[in-house]
Amino acid sequence: MHRINLIKILTLLLLTVTISVNAQNDASKEAHGDSSHKEKDIKTEIKEYIAHHLLDSYDFTLFSYTTDAGEHKYFGAPLPVIIYDGGLKVFSSSKFHHGETLAEVDGNYYKLYHNKIYKTDAEGTINYNEAHHPTNEKPLDFSITKNVVFILFVAILMFFMFTRMAKSYKGNLMPKGMGRLLEPVVLYIRDDIAIPNIGKKHYRKYMSYLLTVFFFVWIINLLGLTPLGVNVTNNIAVTFALALITYLLTTFTGNKNYWKHIFWMPGVPWPMKIILAPIELLGTFIKPFSLMIRLYANITAGHIVLMSIIGLMFIFKSWIGSPLSFGLAFVLALLELLVATLQAYIFTMLSALYFGMAVEEHDDH
Amino acid sequence: MEIPEIVGAGLIVIGAGVGIGRIGGSAMDAIARQPEASGKIQTAMLIAAALIEGIGFAALFAA
C-alpha cells in the first residue's frame, strides 16, 4: 500500500512538471482570424468551442453562456496561476478574465493567448513570426490548471477507494464492502495480465503500478465523457508522463538478460548482432512512445468526433436532422465507453508485456 | 486540408481497415473451429486491433 502512495505521488510530480512543457495540441486547428468579429458564423463558433473544450484551462468553468447584451458569463471558479519569471509569482487566474484582459503583476504584464501565458507590455502586443506563432517570452509555468485539479481529485478518490478495499478484508478472506466491488477486477489484472506476461516469480513487484495505471486511466477516461469538461488524457503531456514511468520502470528493473538481448542478441551470427543493436535500442524508446500516442490519439479522436456530431445538431436545426444527429451522438458515446475501458486495458497489458521482457530469465534457444 | 493530406488520410484508413478486418476474419474462423477457446481468441483479437489502431492514429495525426 505504501507502494501505491509512492507511485501516485511520483506520477503527480511528473505530471505537474510535464504539463509545464506545454505540448501543443495540433489536432485542434483553431480559427485564427475570425475571433475578432462580433457576428460569428455557427461553424466557426463550433470549431472554437471544440478547440476550447480540448485544451487545458486556467480556471474551473462548468459552463458558460453569452447574455443578450453580448457579454460572456461563466459559472465556475478561477484557479491559481503559479509562474516562475525571475521569482515565483502566484496570482489568481481571475485577473485574466478568460483571456480578455491583461494581468498585471509586479509591473509585468501577462497575456493569456490560446491558453498559454506570454510576457508582454502594457498594450498586450504579441509578436508573430512567419509561421504565425507568437514569439513573446514565456515564463515557466507551474500553475494549478484544470487538468492538475482533476488528476489530484482522481488520485485522492483512488486512495480512498483502495484503503476502503483493504479494510474491508479485516482478516477474513471474504470481503464485505468495497472489496466485493473491486476484487474481480484486481484478480483479473493479476491472473490475466500480470502473471501470464511477467511470470510467477516477479509479478508482485509490478502489481501496484499496474493496478494504479489501470484504474487511473479508466476513471480518467470515463470522467472525460461526462459534461464536466475534463480532458486529462487529451493532453499529450499526461500520457507522456505515464509512458515515461513505464519506460523508467523497464529500464531500471531490467536484468542482465534484457540488456543482453538488446545489445548483443544471442543465437544469431555476429554481423546480424551489430545490425540489430541500434534497432533494438530504438525499439526501447519507440515502445513506450507508442503507448503514449495510442492512448492520446484514441481518446482525443473520439472526443473530437463526438463533439463535431453534437455540433452537427446545431447546424441542421431541423426536425429530422437534429434527432438523427443526436441518435448518432448517443451511439458514439456508447462506443466511447468501450474505448475508454479498452484503452486502459491495453495500456496496462502492454506495460505488463514490457515488464515481462525486462525480467525474463534465460532460456535456451 | 490540401489534397495530399486527404489522400494520405484515406490510405491510412484503408490500411488500418484491411488489417483489422483480416484479424477479425481469422478470429472468427478460429472461434468457429473451437468454440471453447473463444475467450482467449477474443482477447488476442482486441490486443492486435488496438495495436493496429495505434499506428493508424499516429499516422493520422502526422498527416
Q: So what's the ipTM on this one?
A: 0.70
Q: In this structure, are A215 and A243 located in the same domain?
A: yes
- Other Cβ atoms within 10 Å of A354 Cβ, number: 21
Domain extent for A179:
147-358
- Say yes or no: B61 contacts chain A, CB-CB below 8 A: yes
Q: In this structure, are A333 and A197 located in the same domain?
A: yes
pLDDT at A113: 62
Q: Is residue A183 part of a domain?
A: yes
pLDDT at A324: 76
> Pick from A297, A343, A346: which is nearest to B61 by CB?
A297
pLDDT one digit per residue (tens) for chain A, 365 residues: 555 666 666 656 555 544 443 333 322 223 333 333 344 566 777 777 677 666 666 666 655 555 555 555 566 666 666 666 556 666 666 666 655 566 666 656 666 666 666 666 666 566 666 666 666 666 666 677 777 878 888 889 888 888 888 887 777 777 777 778 888 888 888 888 888 888 888 888 888 888 888 888 888 888 887 776 667 888 788 888 888 888 888 888 878 778 777 777 777 777 887 888 888 888 888 888 888 888 888 888 888 877 777 777 777 767 777 777 777 777 777 777 777 777 778 888 888 888 888 887 766 54
Q: Is residue A192 part of a domain?
A: yes
Tell me the nearest-neighbour CA distance from A346 into chain B, angstroms. Answer: 7
Q: In this structure, are A139 and A172 located in the same domain?
A: no
pLDDT at A32: 33
pLDDT value at B53 more than 60 = yes
Kindly list the residues from chain B whose CB atom is less than 8 angstroms away from the CB atom of residue A239.
Answer: none
Q: In this structure, are A193 and A215 located in the same domain?
A: yes
Burial-class residue A114 by CB neighbours within 10 Å (0-12, 13-18, 19+): middle
Q: In this structure, are A163 and A115 located in the same domain?
A: no
pLDDT at A27: 27
Contact B61 A26 (CB under 8 A): yes
Kindly list the residues from chain B whose CB atom is less than 8 angstroms away from the CB atom of residue A346.
Answer: 46-47, 50
Q: Do residues A25 and A236 touch, judged by C-beta distance below 8 A?
A: yes
Boundary of a domain, candidates A118, A143, A168: A143
Boundary of a domain, candidates A143, A161, A196: A143
Contact B61 A298 (CB under 8 A): no
Q: In this structure, are A138 and A151 located in the same domain?
A: no
Residue A60, beta-bridge partner list? A77
C-alpha cell at A238: 499526461
> Pick from B47, B58, B60: which is nearest to A346 by CB?
B47
Rounded to 5 degrees, what angle do the CA atoms A352, A355, A359 make?
Answer: 135
Q: Is residue A40 part of a domain?
A: no
Q: Is residue A205 part of a domain?
A: yes
CA dihedral (A163, A166, A222, A233) in degrees, to 10, reads 60
Average pLDDT of B49-54? 78
Per the model's pLDDT, the better-predicted residue between A134 and B8 turns out to be B8
**pTM of the predicted protein model:** 0.76
Number of domains in chain A: 2
pLDDT at A70: 52
Q: In this structure, are A190 and A334 located in the same domain?
A: yes
Q: Is residue A94 part of a domain?
A: yes
Boundary of a domain, candidates A110, A143, A176: A143
Q: In this structure, are A133 and A176 located in the same domain?
A: no
Q: In this structure, are A190 and A308 located in the same domain?
A: yes
Cell numbers 483493504 correspond to A166
Instruction: Count how many residues are written for chain B.
Output: 63
Q: Is residue A174 part of a domain?
A: yes
> Pick from B46, B54, B61: which is nearest to A27 by CB?
B61
- Other Cβ atoms within 10 Å of A216 Cβ, number: 25
Q: In this structure, are A122 and A168 located in the same domain?
A: no
Candidates A150, A291, A162; CA nearest to A221 is A150
Q: In this structure, are A116 and A241 located in the same domain?
A: no
pLDDT at A353: 81
pLDDT value at B6 more than 50 = yes
Q: In this structure, are A206 and A320 located in the same domain?
A: yes
What residues of chain A have any CB closer than 8 angstroms to a CB in chain B? 26-27, 192, 290, 293-294, 297-298, 301, 342-343, 345-346, 349
Tell me the nearest-neighbour CA distance from B1 into chain A, angstroms. Answer: 11
Q: Is residue A187 part of a domain?
A: yes
Q: Is residue A42 part of a domain?
A: no
